[in-house]
Amino acid sequence: MDLQTEVLIIGGGATGTGIARDLSLRGIPSLLVEKGDFTSGASGRNQGLLHSGGRYAVNDPDAARECIAENRILRRIAPHCIEPTDGLFVSLPEDGPEYRANFIRACGAAGIDTLPLSPREALAMEPRLSPRIIGAVQVPDGAIDPFTLVVENARDAESRGARILIHTEVTGLIRDGLRIAGVRVRDRITAEAFAIAATWVINATGAWANHILRMAGLQIGLALSKGSMLITNTRLSERVLNRCRPPASGDIIVPNDTVSILGTTSLRAEDPEHYEVTPAEVTFLVDELSRMIPDLKGERFTRAYAGVRPLLQSEGTNDDRTISRGFALIDHGSCSGPAGLVTITGGKLMTYRLMAEKTADFICERMGLHVPCSTHVQRLPGAGHGHTLKDRLLRLRRQTPAAKGEILCDCELVPREAVDAILREGKVRELQDILHRTRLAKGTCQGGFCVYRLLGLLNERSKADHRGGSNRILKGFLEERWKGIRPVLWGRSLKEEELIESIYKGLFNLTPAEPGGPGGGEA
């Protein structure tokens, strides 16, 4: 199978799918390839924070202005992906009143609304905050669901003519003299290899940018920064909580749906594929964030995860926190590289739409087209179909067999119907694809009790047996799950884990995969 397209996009994160959507709205055909599923990279491994820009207001005013502008746009175009919680910048005695004054001034200059709060007012709003606080400032932060955001960008692009291939990995670039004329790809599930011819190849692979560029003998200055995060079992606060101090590690708590996400760290990484959350990071995050919420140490954590930020490197900076969160669009043809290859990287989830806009603007300009961007006004298809926690809780009412309200995931109240709908669409190819598109296995038990129900459903649909059956899928899932829960496995989580382990090992007779062996023993 060989394919052809006008614009080939590599990377199914927020930026890649954002570009596909932008181009499709301008009537330009594109094809997107992603080696895993959507949001496999940093788009799915961040804190889910809808920045107001406050975090950058003092040190990086340009980034702050970009954030608040995109914040307002995203609230308009993707209201169903956003929880408008607002955020507090909380000052502890050690943070001092000076930074707070600077902060309010800088927010004003960047156009970010602020509402200064007394300690008493802040504590009334967020009772779990430390009584030591000396003040707080409210800003329009929020929580964002990057999974829905990316999937909807992709769906909208597809409905407007874009083509998307997930689990399709780029194995090489096709050169035609001084031009890049396309890519060679391989389907990671069927192992089928084929070529895609394209006029333009856009490298929107984030932390993998240099991995693609190396195929053309190129390299850009990109620092990889690992950020680790912890997830609690319940929501700790109603609002985003930030420390009111220069951006540092361990200073943000984001309420996200039923849980809160604590972050982050910033450690240099060599490889975007292989990294883990270290015990030192877990200890650091819990210690540091318990300054804001003192009883954090008794909290039940359900998972730890990390993502790798692609940071554009200027010379002579060693502290990754001081590197600008700005993005770069590089036309390799105009800087002694092959023509037809463009890299867009750096930036952050907040600016994905702007990054897509600038990339599409550039492509249009080169193609001699004058079609303006409309992604800042065109709402995403699912807008207006949000599910608040209350709506989800009401699913318990429809649990009767007659109402087909069977619930697969008890912790997150994911109904069978939601998974059925995804399967009917026919786009998912792996278990993790389903997990990216629902909140299944994202709750307290992390899938310990619901994944076998899901496998039962997949078996019914004969989706499970094309790669060696449910057993193999289950083992793969449990290995992934273990990576996430192991760093935070103590106290109450450990009790539940013992029970889950006894179910899989004792009842299902599942044996661990042998090191190096394929799949291990069969149950």
Partner 1 sequence: MTKEEKPVPLTKLPDVCVRCATCMAACPVSRVTPRFPGPKQAGPGAQRFRSAAEASVDDWIDLCTGCRLCDTVCPAGVPISEMNMMAKAKYLDERGRTFRDWLLVRSDLFGEMAARYSKIVNPLLKKKVVRWLLDALLRIDRRRALPAYEHPTFRRWFRTRQAPKGGGPEVAYFYGCFTNTNETDVGKAAVEILEAHGLKVVVPPQRCCGIPRLGVGDLRRAREMGRRNVDFLLRTVRGLDIVFSSTSCGLMLRHEYGPLLHLPGAEELARRLFDICEYLLGLHEEGKPAATFQPIPLKAAYFAPCHLRSLDIGLPALELLRRVPGLDVSLVEAECCGLGGLYGFKKEKFAIAEEIGKDLTEAIARMKPDIILTDCEGCRMQIRHLTGLKVLHPVQLLRDALERQGEEIHRVPVESFNYLG
Residue whose CB is less far from partner 1, 65 or 235 = 235
From the CB of 304, what's the least distance to partner 1, in Å? 16
- Paired strand residues for 160: none
CA 251 – CA 413 distance, rounded (Å): 30
Report the residue number, 1 or 402, with the smaller CB distance to partner 1.
402
On the CB side of 452, how many CA atoms lie within 13 Å of its CA? Answer: 11
Cα dihedral 144, 147, 148, 154 sign: positive
Residue 488 and residue 303 in contact, taking contact as beta carbons nearer than 8 Å:
yes
Binding span for partner 1 by CB under 8 A among 176-184, 388-396, 420-428, 431-439? 388-396
> Is 124 near partner 1 (CB under 8 A)?
no
Cross-strand pairs, 90: 136, 243
Site string for partner 1, 183-222 (x = CB under 8 A): ----------------------------------------
Q: Where are the beta strands (DSSP E) in 42-188?
A: 49-50, 82-83, 87-91, 115-117, 135-139, 142-144, 163-165, 168-176, 179-187
Q: Which residues contact 10 (CB under 8 A, 6 or more apart)?
A: 16, 32, 33, 34, 170, 183, 201, 202, 203, 204, 205, 212
CB of 441 to partner 1, least distance (A): 13
Please identify which residue in 124, 377, 499, 523 interacts with partner 1, judged by CB under 8 A. 499
Which span (168-176, 374-382, 389-397, 423-431) binds partner 1, by CB under 8 A?
389-397
- DSSP single-letter state for residue 241: E
Q: Closest Cα to residue 249, out of 274, 269, 267, 268?
A: 267
Q: How far, in Å, CA of 182 to CA of 492, rounded?
A: 52
Backbone angles phi, psi at 313, to 5 degrees: -100, 125
Among 168, 239, 119, which residue's Cα sits nearest to residue 8? 168
Report 269-308 residues binding partner 1 (CB under 8 A): 299-300
Residues 104-123 that bind partner 1 (CB under 8 A): none
Q: How far is the CB of 367 from partner 1 (least distance, A)?
A: 49
- Identify whether the C-beta of residue 430 lies closer than 8 Å to the C-beta of residue 37: yes
CB 34 within 8 A of CB 16: yes
Pick the piece of the chain touching partner 1 (CB under 8 A) from 184-192, 285-293, 387-395, 426-434: 387-395
Q: Which is nearer to partner 1, 109 or 394 (CB)?
A: 394
Site string for partner 1, 423-452 (x = CB under 8 A): --------------------xxx--xx---
Backbone angles phi, psi at 404, to 5 degrees: 50, 35
Cβ proximity to partner 1: between 191 and 402 the closer is 402
- SS3 (DSSP) at 169: strand
Longest dimension (CA), the chain: 68
The burial class, CB within 10 Å (0-12 / 13-18 / 19+), for 95 is: buried
Q: Closer to partner 1 at the Cβ: 274 or 390?
A: 390
Question: Minimum Å distance from CB 390 to partner 1?
Answer: 5
Q: How far is the CB of 445 from partner 1 (least distance, A)?
A: 5
Tell me the closest approach of the beta carbon of residue 415 to partner 1, in angstroms.
12
What is the total count of residues that contact partner 1 (CB under 8 A)?
30
Q: Of 52, 85, 237, 258, which one interacts with partner 1 (CB under 8 A)?
A: 258
Site for partner 1 in 390-429 (CB under 8 A): 390, 392-394, 396-397, 399-401, 407, 410-411, 413
Q: Provide φ and ψ at 234, rounded to 5°.
A: -130, 170
Of 461 and 492, CB closest to partner 1? 492
* DSSP assignment letter at 242: E
Residues in 215-244 at the binding interface with partner 1, rule: CB under 8 A: 233-235, 238
Cβ nearer to partner 1, comparing 122 with 154: 122
Candidates 495, 509, 511, 514; binder of partner 1 (CB under 8 A) is 495
Residue 448 CB, shortest distance to partner 1, in Å, is 8
Query: Tokens for 243?
Result: 């420390």
User: In the complex with partner 1, which residue's Cβ is closer, 223 or 296?
Assistant: 296
Binding site for partner 1 (CB under 8 A): 233-235, 238, 258, 299-300, 389-390, 392-394, 396-397, 399-401, 407, 410-411, 413, 443-445, 448-449, 492, 495-496, 499
